[in-house]
Amino acid sequence: MRQALTFVSLNHESTPRHGKTRTHLSRARTALFAGGFIAAAALAFLLSGYQLFQATMIIAYGVALLGLNILTGYNGQISLGHGAFFALGSYLTAVLMTSFGVPFWAAVVASGAASMAVGYAFGIPAVRLEGLYLALATFALGVAVPQLLKAHFLEQWTGGVQGISLDKPEAPFGLPLSPDQWLYLCALIAAVFLFWTAINLLQGEPGRIMRAIRDHEIAAQAMGVNTSHYKALTFSVSAGYTGIGGGISALAVQFVAPDSFTMFLSISLLVGIVIGGIGTVWGAFFGAVFILFVPALAESVSKAAPWAVYGGVLIIFMFLMPSGVVGLLRRVLHWRN
Amino acid sequence: MKRSAGSILEFKVFNMDGFLEQLLVGVSTGGVYAIMALALVMIYSATHHINFAQGEMAMFSTFIAWQLIQFGIPYWFAFVLTIAISFVISCVIEVAVIRPLTHRPVLSVVVVFIGLLVIFNSLAGLLFGYTIKEFPSPFSNLEWLSISLLTPHQLGALLVTFALVVLLFLFFRFTTLGLTLRAAAQNPRSAELAGIDSGRMLLVGWGLAGAIGAIAGMMVAPVVFLDPNMMSGILLYAFAGALIGGIDNPVGAVAGGFIVGVMENLLGTYVVGTELKLTVALVIIVGVLIFKPEGLWGRRIVARV
């Protein structure tokens, strides 16, 4: 079955043919990742204040976008409501920390687990829906969650319209780190773990099955894949990633309120994965940079109509690089070879 | 006050006239959703894209109408002029932005639609301001239009909806242009073999969608007042209506628009209150779609493996 599945998704993922090139490549890659990690960790001591906050937010959005990309890019299920899972993760982290005194790391992990559970529960009926219908269903989710967060019966935990303020965790064991640096480093380590897990997941059999479902669901079924099971599972993993991203962002912002999680967030997430590169792992990073910085840049270009500038940038991006930043980079590298 | 189900109070509040009124109000807003749903179907049937910017384009058209009326142009003349301008704007967008993306991935096109959405929203705010504006109703001084339960405008808007649906039906059924449009939408390749320029038909389809959206905007603006965010909720209801009725079936989409309008209004009045009605309406729609994925009157898609 594995070989057959590889065959199905051959068009999209080029499988290395020679074992030698593969180890060679992967060694170069490991070196690249290690270098990247050290550089990213060094940022904790080079950046200060607001810049460090932005770096943490890039990590938070990056993890969330990776989650959405697993669902949309690798499994072909479109979601216009992933902001709901981002909100869920943010709120759970905040509530667990403020109302129940849970340590921050455990709160984020629990938020991720809870988002996975909710994602699975939502994924079960959603597997019956395809394309636009799924877009509408997820849109409904994205609309419903901010309204639910304002609802009266949840107010004792969510704080209603007021939201919740929370404190940044202090570095333990008397480490000479400011709370900003500590949070950034923790987020970075979590992101490395999550990206590593995602890469393994996507390169292994589950990833092949996901792509097979995306490319031809009926063929995948004929090959013995339990497609609805895998689609619901993918939904769950995706929601979990996005929930953890939300948890990290709640810690960085130190505040959660229903109005931070409007439809605009869900749409930004979708924009982020398309700009970064659909069906790529590292697109999440470029997408995160885009959704964090471009709105502010647009505002500096035109104070009167920043969103017109933003929309223009979006359209230009899609004209110049329809397969996202990673797609463009790949094309450039390929062309040089 | 009307929320708690089963209380004695509710029996007193619930009366047939009130119910009928809410039903009719729902039908009248449903008419606007139906028109917007038609605009969505117009583009969907030709390109299989949902134009997420349709609502903002309609809002922009309504602002153009408002500006024309401010210039002192009589309402119905401004009405026709706005439809013509919207037709042209829509065609320009098709040629300049959408056509070059014909063979690009679906999600790239979705992002372009999102781009158009924020551009129109922002431009409307920049050109016309963010303050909420009153938009005139051509029916407001026609007292004879008022029946006991509906305002003249609601009834007038409903009549416009029906007139538009009938006109479109006649257009697609009995005119050469309508027939060629349908042919190009159903099977572009065969249509081209029969000598139809399917590219031009796509252009006309977009233009029509823009024009139809403009009508929806001008009909809803007197009710919800005119501002750059006027159409965002309406587009969503129209989208839901189109899906529930069957996105490839214009008649189904119109019916779906009415169903959503009535359901939204009755739910908001009698069950959950106005705050949660959008959520509840969406949940019900999704529930229906789970059991009938092709919509109530849609064609079941059969894929060849």
- Residue B280 CA to chain centroid, in angstroms? 20
How many Å lie between the alpha carbon of A38 and the closest alpha carbon of chain B?
34
**A307·B119 Cβ contact <8 A:** yes
C-alpha A158/C-alpha A311 separation (Å) is 33
Residues in chain A: 337
Per-residue pLDDT at A210: 87
pLDDT at B52: 87
User: Does residue B6 have a pLDDT over 50?
Assistant: no
Tokens 């894209």 found at: B49
Domain annotation covers residue B168: yes
In a domain, B131, yes or no: yes
Closest CA–CA distance from residue A313 to any residue of chain B (Å): 8
Label the pairing between strands A164-165 and A255-256.
Answer: antiparallel
Q: List chain B residues with CB under 8 Å of A265.
A: none
Percent of chain B with pLDDT over 90: 22
pLDDT band at B212 (very low <50, low <70, confident <90, very high): very high
Is A65 a member of any domain?
Answer: yes
Query: What pLDDT does residue A237 have?
Result: 94
Check residue A22 and give its pLDDT. 56
Asked, for residue A272, whether it belongs to a domain, the answer is no
Q: Give the chain B residue whose CA is nearest to the CA of A144.
A: B279
Query: How far apart are the C-alpha atoms of B178 and A260, rounded to whole Å?
Result: 46
Whether B271 shows a pLDDT value over 80: the answer reads: no
Q: Which pLDDT belongs to residue B210?
A: 93
Collect all residues of chain A within an 8 Å Cβ-Cβ radius of residue B101.
318-319, 322
CB pair distance less than 8 Å for B122 and A274: no
Q: How much is the mean pLDDT over chain B?
A: 83
Contact B279 A143 (CB under 8 A): yes
Residues from chain B contacting residue A148 (CB–CB below 8 Å)? 279
Q: CB under 8 Å to A217, separation ≥6 — which residues? A: A227
Does residue A8 fall inside a structural domain? yes
Question: Is residue B28 domain-resident?
Answer: no
For A72, which residue in chain B has the nearest alpha carbon? B107
Residue B9 located in a structural domain:
no
When pLDDT is cut at 50, 70 and 90, the band that residue B8 belongs to is: very low
pLDDT of B108? 84
Residue by residue, what is the 3-state secondary structure of chain B?
A: CCCCCCCHHHHHHCCHHHHHHHHHHHHHHHHHHHHHHHHHHHHHHHHCCCCCCHHHHHHHHHHHHHHHHHCCCCHHHHHHHHHHHHHHHHHHHHHHHHHHHCCCCHHHHHHHHHHHHHHHHHHHHHHHCCCCECCCCCCCCCHHHCCCCCCHHHHHHHHHHHHHHHHHHHHHHHCHHHHHHHHHHHCHHHHHHCCCCHHHHHHHHHHHHHHHHHHHHHHHHHHHCECCCCCHHHHHHHHHHHHHHCCCCHHHHHHHHHHHHHHHHHHHHHHCCCCCHHHHHHHHHHHHHHHCCCCCCCCCCCCCC
pLDDT of B59 above 90 = yes
B218 assigned to some structural domain: yes
Task: Judge whether B239 is closer than 8 Å to chain A, CB to CB.
Answer: yes
pLDDT of residue B305: 55
Look at chain A and report how many structural domains it folds into.
Answer: 1
- Cβ distance A307 to B50 less than 8 Å, yes or no, reads no
Q: How high is the pLDDT of residue A6?
A: 44
Residue B217 lies in a domain: yes
The residue in chain B having the minimum alpha-carbon distance to the alpha carbon of residue A77 is: B107
Q: What is the CATH number of the domain that holds A189?
A: 1.10.3470
- Token pair listed for A250: 């709640």
Kindly tell me if the per-residue pLDDT of B41 is higher than 60. Answer: yes
What was the pLDDT predicted at A248?
92
Using CB atoms, which residue from B108, B123, B305 is nearest to A322? B108
pLDDT in the model for residue B143: 64
User: What is the mean pLDDT of each successive set of 10 residues along chain A, which is 337 residues long?
Assistant: 43 45 68 81 78 90 93 87 92 88 88 93 81 80 81 72 79 78 88 90 88 86 86 92 93 86 86 87 90 86 83 86 84 77
3 state DSSP class of A235 = helix
Confidence check: pLDDT of B49 > 60? yes
B162-188 confidence digits (pLDDT tens): 899 899 889 888 999 888 888 888 888
Query: Which residues in chain B have their CB less than 8 angstroms from residue A130's CB?
Result: 293
Domain that holds residue B112: 38-240
B108 interaction partners in chain A (CB closer than 8 Å): 274, 318, 322-323
* Residue A240 CB partners (closer than 8 Å, separation 6+): A67, A112, A113, A115, A116, A119
Residue of B nearest to A313 (CA): B115
In a domain, A194, yes or no: yes
Cβ of A315 within 8 Å of Cβ of B283? The answer is no
**A284 contacts: CB under 8 Å, gap ≥ 6:** A62, A63, A65, A66, A69, A272, A273, A276
- What is the distance in angstroms between the CA of the first residue and the CA of the last residue of chain A? 33
> Is A109 a domain residue?
yes
Per-residue confidence (pLDDT) for residue A3, from 0 to 100 = 45
The pair of three-digit structure tokens given for residue A94, joined into one six-digit string = 């905040």
The predicted pLDDT at position A310 comes to: 86
Q: Does B233 touch chain A (CB under 8 A)?
A: no
CA separation for the pair B283, A303 (Å, rounded):
38
Contacts with A310 from chain B: Cβ below 8 Å: 115, 118, 122
Q: Which of A205, A207, A206, A227 shows the shortest CA–CA distance to A216?
A: A227
Number of domains observed in the structure of chain B: 1
Size of the A and B interface in Cβ pairs below 8 Å: 122
Residue A176 is assigned to a structural domain of this protein: yes
The residue of chain A with its CA nearest to that of B291 is: A128
Its domain, for residue A219, covers 2-262
| pLDDT on residue A319 | 85
The pLDDT value given to residue A14 = 44
How close B303 gets to chain A, by Cα (Å)? 9
CA dihedral sign of residues B183, B187, B190, B195? positive
Confidence grade of residue B144 (pLDDT, cut at 50, 70, 90):
low
